[in-house]
A and B are shown apart, each in its own frame.
Chain A
Amino acid sequence: MLPLIFSVILDTSYSWVRMFIALSISLVIGLFTGIAAARSKALNKVLMPVVDILQTLPILAFFPFAIYIFVFYLPGSIGINSAVIFLIITSMLWNIIFGVYQAVISLPSEYTEMAKIYRLNFYQRLRKIFIPAALPRMSEQMSLSWAIGLFYLVTSEIFSIGTKNYAVKHGIGVEFVTAAATGNFYLYLYAIAVFVLFVIITRLLFFERFDRFANRYYLKDYKKRKKDRFTFNSIHGIGIKLSGKTKHKLYVFSRYFFYVVLAAVAGFIIYKMIFAINIPLLSRIVNYEGYSILSLAFSFLRIWGAFLAILAVSIPLSIYVIFLSKRIKRYLLLFQILASIPATILLPAVAELVYGNSELLSFIIYFLSGLWYVIFSIIATTKYLPQSINEVKEVFHLKGIVAWKKIYLKAIMPGVITGAVTGIAAEWNASIVAEYFSAGSGKIITSVSVGMGKALNVALASNNLLLMGVLLANMVAMIIIINYFMWRRLYNRVNSVYS
């Protein structure tokens, strides 16, 4: 028993090292990118829409692709470890950039005016104004990133083992897969216990402290904080004031530069395609397209079915916690701990419970992967409602159905919409393990008949890069179209009334 626990702790430490490397890199990139995007109009125009799209894409589905590239270029275990860390960064980075960006852009203009009057140089502005101003939001986003990162970490570790050729050697995911493959129930329990213990210790020793430190820089007169929460709208950008002819020239120049780069890239792709196009390849793509759309349709039904179930649970639950219970902080802590247990960890246990019913299994994994995003998004956007709205409820005796109809259900709408975007993206992320999962030695734990996750696994197993590309292109196109035509419109409609 002791050596077993020791090996679990060792493996979890490996995973945590990956997490902290990824977090540090994300923080540095996020801090500077966020500040730069907030201070330069050109970067703002280019970067923020890209970040906005990236954060709603299920990047984990690109993992097979990432493995391929990293393992191809980097030797041995460095390759697969870099792939895992790279994946975690892609999950952590976007909301940190947004947090920093919004902290800097909503900084009252007095601060920049003050910097001009006292002629602070670039370095001084960074150190005395922008970085401190960004710290509270960065800290807030950091713990969110951590939770998302854990999901990516475990899922990518587990997934890598499923591919046998590219498996990581140490990591908490390894323990879970070993437990599942050998049917070792105790190992499984130890692994979950150690994992949760690590999560709690990290929260107490690192995130809570960092939060206290960062909140010293919290500007109390940030009345617009509530608004900043709605990151989804960021593509419309909040214009920033830039003055001076040089800056204008710089802006025009950088815009042209951007167009030139864009044209060059497009030209290169077209050039390549002209040479690449040949009839057999084209017919293969057409063949794959049919398979791809079929897979997409099946996964779509599973994921949206699970999403409806998520709504049915998360809406009443969050309303209860925000408006009716008196212990919102305690619930939040409980939710944070529960949410940090990646749904994919539970996969082997769920597989036992459903007796290998792959459809039910994938439904449960999808449900668990998306649930917390929706709940946290609702709580985050709603808890900044002014206290007086609660007082209105009391003064005018709004109770029961009236309170639900006039206040609760309406107040959570922005949170539901932003949560839906991230929650559904998380579900797509989970697809590569929810629909097909083998435990290393070829023992298949679950496999649906048709689905996107299944198809990606098949493509990787047969080293079929073309199929992988077609699959991913289809999925990305669908998500962008749904985001644009459904969620963004809903969001804009709600937002035009709410703020």
Chain B
Amino acid sequence: MAFLEVEKISFAYPKSGVTVLNGISFSANELEFISIIGPSGCGKSTLLRIMAGLIRADGGKIILDGKRIKEPSNSISFVFQDFALLPWLSNLENVKIGLASKPITEEEREKTSLEMLSKLELNGFEDAYPNLLSGGMKQRVGLARALVSNPVLLLMDEPFSSLDELTANSLRKTVIEVLKDKKTLPKSIVMVSHNIEEAVEMSDKIIVLSNKPAVVKKIVSVDIKRPRDRGSRDFRRKVDELYSIFAE
């Protein structure tokens, strides 16, 4: 059995009854980076929230490491598209939120959070408030909060899409760098994206969803050697393959 199993997830909006997700299934092995891509409004974010246990699916189940996920758990972390930082807490306090439910001392919480902030190149901004930061730096805080608790499963909801391309690029590099660290590496990562290049650059496997209702159109594995060069022939070929799947 795979490490992460998504089995026949279906979901309809409670008010309108419109089906958004229709029997979505895929699986991931340990240490795999999965991307879910699809047209906007197809229900990618809803699927991710179901995986986080924030929303209950109408049918199907999510199994992580042999255990069924029904509600948010300590082993799952989440990176939000709009950062979702608490504006009234300093950046350090925001990162400490990620450890709020862990039974450790306040000193340990502080120490681990400071380390994580420094990994994400936020030294010197510990006591500043989120709204004074640029979008890219806000998302670094968001990532630090998500990673600080050593989650088993890391879920990212379009983490780079509120940023401009240059900022997004450098943040992607940092994320790839941070995730290299075997000590903090989540056993499984699922990212929702609408950017094909980004998905090819970062993931081992790409789940392509279709629109209305969303079904899995195709699962594409990406076995290009890392670090990946966006200009390489293999990279371009993979991107073209995905574009043609979309166009079908």
Residue numbers of A with Cβ under 8 A of B are 386, 388-389, 391-392, 394-399, 402, 406-407, 410-411, 413, 494, 497-499
Given contacts A406-B89, A498-B131, contact A392 B100 (CB under 8 A): no
Q: Are B84 and A386 in contact (CB under 8 A)?
A: yes
Q: Are A395 and B76 in contact (CB under 8 A)?
A: yes
Q: Are B86 and A392 in contact (CB under 8 A)?
A: yes
Q: Within the complex, which residue of A395, A402, A497 is in contact with B52, where a contact is CB–CB below 8 Å?
A: A395
Residue of B nearest to A387 (CB): B84
Assess whether B160 is interfacial by the CB under 8 Å rule: no
Residue numbers of B with Cβ under 8 A of A are 49, 52-54, 72, 74, 76-78, 80, 82, 84, 86-89, 93, 97-98, 100-101, 129, 131, 145, 149
Q: Within the complex, which residue of B52, B88, B98, B145 is in contact with A498, where a contact is CB–CB below 8 Å?
A: B88
Q: What would 6 A/B residue contacts be, using CB atoms closer than 8 Å?
A: A394-B72, A396-B101, A397-B74, A411-B88, A497-B129, A498-B88
Q: Are A392 and B80 in contact (CB under 8 A)?
A: yes
**Cα–Cα, bound, A402→B52 (Å):** 21
Shortest Cβ gap from A101 to chain B (Å): 24
**Cα–Cα, bound, A498→B101 (Å):** 25
Q: Are B87 and A498 in contact (CB under 8 A)?
A: yes
Given contacts A391-B80, A397-B74, contact A410 B101 (CB under 8 A): no
Residue of A nearest to B49 (CB): A391
Q: Are A397 and B54 in contact (CB under 8 A)?
A: no
Q: Are B131 and A397 in contact (CB under 8 A)?
A: no
Q: Are B84 and A410 in contact (CB under 8 A)?
A: no
Shortest Cβ gap from A482 to chain B (Å): 24
Shortest Cβ gap from B149 to chain A (Å): 8
**Cα–Cα, bound, A499→B87 (Å):** 7
Q: Within the complex, which residue of B87, B88, B100 is in contact with A397, where a contact is CB–CB below 8 Å?
A: B100
Shortest Cβ gap from A416 to chain B (Å): 13
**Cα–Cα, bound, A499→B131 (Å):** 6
Main secondary structure of the interface of A (DSSP, over half): helix
**Cα–Cα, bound, A423→B76 (Å):** 43
- B84 to chain A: which residues have CB within 8 Å? 386, 388-389, 391-392
Q: Within the complex, which residue of B49, B77, B82, B100 is in contact with A386, where a contact is CB–CB below 8 Å?
A: B82
Q: Are A397 and B101 in contact (CB under 8 A)?
A: yes
**Cα–Cα, bound, A117→B54 (Å):** 47
- A395 to chain B: which residues have CB within 8 Å? 52, 54, 72, 76-78
**Cα–Cα, bound, A494→B72 (Å):** 31
- B52 to chain A: which residues have CB within 8 Å? 391, 395
Shortest Cβ gap from B192 to chain A (Å): 14
- A391 to chain B: which residues have CB within 8 Å? 49, 52, 54, 78, 80, 84
**Cα–Cα, bound, A389→B74 (Å):** 17
- A498 to chain B: which residues have CB within 8 Å? 87-88, 131
Shortest Cβ gap from B107 to chain A (Å): 17
**Cα–Cα, bound, A494→B88 (Å):** 8
**Cα–Cα, bound, A392→B97 (Å):** 9
**Cα–Cα, bound, A410→B74 (Å):** 24
Q: Are B86 and A406 in contact (CB under 8 A)?
A: yes
Q: Are B97 and A398 in contact (CB under 8 A)?
A: yes
Shortest Cβ gap from B148 to chain A (Å): 10
**Cα–Cα, bound, A395→B131 (Å):** 22
Given contacts A392-B97, A497-B129, contact A410 B72 (CB under 8 A): no
Supply 20 further A-B pairs (C-beta < 8 A) apart from A386-B82, A391-B54: A391-B49, A391-B80, A391-B84, A392-B80, A392-B86, A394-B54, A395-B72, A395-B76, A397-B72, A398-B100, A402-B100, A406-B89, A406-B93, A406-B97, A494-B88, A497-B87, A498-B88, A498-B131, A499-B87, A499-B131
Residue of A nearest to B155 (CB): A395
Shortest Cβ gap from B212 to chain A (Å): 21
- B49 to chain A: which residues have CB within 8 Å? 391
**Cα–Cα, bound, A411→B76 (Å):** 25
**Cα–Cα, bound, A395→B54 (Å):** 7
> A389, A391, A494: which has the most chain B beta carbons within 10 Å?
A391
**Cα–Cα, bound, A319→B179 (Å):** 38
**Cα–Cα, bound, A389→B145 (Å):** 13
Q: Are A398 and B88 in contact (CB under 8 A)?
A: no
- B145 to chain A: which residues have CB within 8 Å? 396
